[in-house]
Structure 1
Amino acid sequence: MHQLVEQFLKLKPPKFDGKGDPEIASLWVEELEKAFEVLECTEEENVTLAVYQIQGNANDWWKTTRGRVFPAGTAQIWIVFVEAFKGKYFPESARERKLAEFMRFHQGQMTVDLYEAELARLSKFAPKMVKDPLYRARRFRDRLKPDVHSKMISLNLRDYNEIYERA
């Protein structure tokens, strides 16, 4: 475990203190999961390493919550930890706000590149909605500026990358 912790820390994983925008909690989990994948960690190692990166208010929360999440004799499973963690730091109400932000999002005055990048960021809060490639392409096309949108409609493109490149 000592060697794993050393390798993990060399990847410079983020710490989490429980403060700030709820989206930070989601990003923290994503960044840790990338490190876990590189290191080929087990479920239990994922939890141990994640807990090592928690500090401040989040550490206090975990100390009081750990026994409920993983009662004595229970295996530490990453998905269970993430569910409890997100329940606290990225609750359903925050997820609904991010989904609503995705639903309202339009290109506005942004460049196509900025629009595409922001849409990609918001898409992670609407995974069921962007799962279908055709829907994802239409969503991108239909939220473009009106003058660009009308040109894309006339081209009758159905592929996301092709619509993006043409826009």
Structure 2
Amino acid sequence: MGDGDRVRCAVYMLRDDASLWCEGAAHAVNLATLTWDRFKEMFYGKFFPADVRSRLTREFMSLRQGDSSVAEFIHKFDRGCHFVPLITRDARQKLRHFMDGLRPTNRRDVMLMRPAGYDEATSCAFQEE
């Protein structure tokens, strides 16, 4: 999928304030030639200022399952992945961070299944819960 297609899909999915922001931004930027990286930079700059991104990064780095269900933990983990690309772009680090965040009993059970990657680990975690 090219940059133009990604931008069009993202714009289509925007709702409420984000949709209004995009309508205004379209007057200043040509959406047809806007790159995906520039779109994300503009969007995150508007809706996730540096202090919010920093807080979300810290939350992700200390994320633990605790009393949450596996589904709730995975939801929080996936949301946090957007703010810590250095970890989440490396498949081994992403898997390691996910496994480290699981409740000890869940971690043990998932490790016994020897998941090859994050998707497999999440499937194993769901099976064990």
| TM-score, normalised via structure 2 length | 0.65
Instruction: After TM superposition, give the deviation of residue 91 of structure 1 in Å.
Output: 1.6
Seen in structure 2, the aligned counterparts of structure 1 residues 110 and 12 have a Cα distance that, compared at 3 Å, is closer
Seen in structure 2, the aligned counterparts of structure 1 residues 114 and 82 have a Cα distance that, compared at 3 Å, is closer
Are the counterparts in 2 of residues 138 and 158 from structure 1 also a CA contact under 8 Å?
no
Instruction: After TM superposition, give the deviation of residue 165 of structure 1 in Å.
Output: 1.7
Q: Distance in 2 between matches of 1:14 and 1:158?
A: 37
2:110 equivalent to 1:152: yes
The aligned runs of 1:78-157 (5 Å cut-off) are 78=34, 83=41, 86-157=44-115
- How well do the aligned residues superpose, as a CA RMSD in angstroms? 3.1
Seen in structure 2, the aligned counterparts of structure 1 residues 163 and 81 have a Cα distance that, compared at 3 Å, is closer
Equivalent residues, number:
109
Partner deviation per Cα, 1:80-118 (whole Å, 9 max, x = no partner): 576456435422111111100111111111111221111
Are the counterparts in 1 of residues 94 and 118 from structure 2 also a CA contact under 8 Å?
yes
Are the counterparts in 2 of residues 123 and 130 from structure 1 also a CA contact under 8 Å?
yes
Seen in structure 2, the aligned counterparts of structure 1 residues 12 and 137 have a Cα distance that, compared at 3 Å, is closer
Are the counterparts in 1 of residues 115 and 124 from structure 2 also a CA contact under 8 Å?
no
2:16 aligned counterpart, secondary structure? coil
Q: Tell which structure's C-alpha radius of gyration is larger.
A: 1
Q: Which runs of 5+ in 2 are unaligned?
A: 1-11
2:9 equivalent to 1:51: no
Identity %: 25
Seen in structure 2, the aligned counterparts of structure 1 residues 111 and 86 have a Cα distance that, compared at 3 Å, is closer
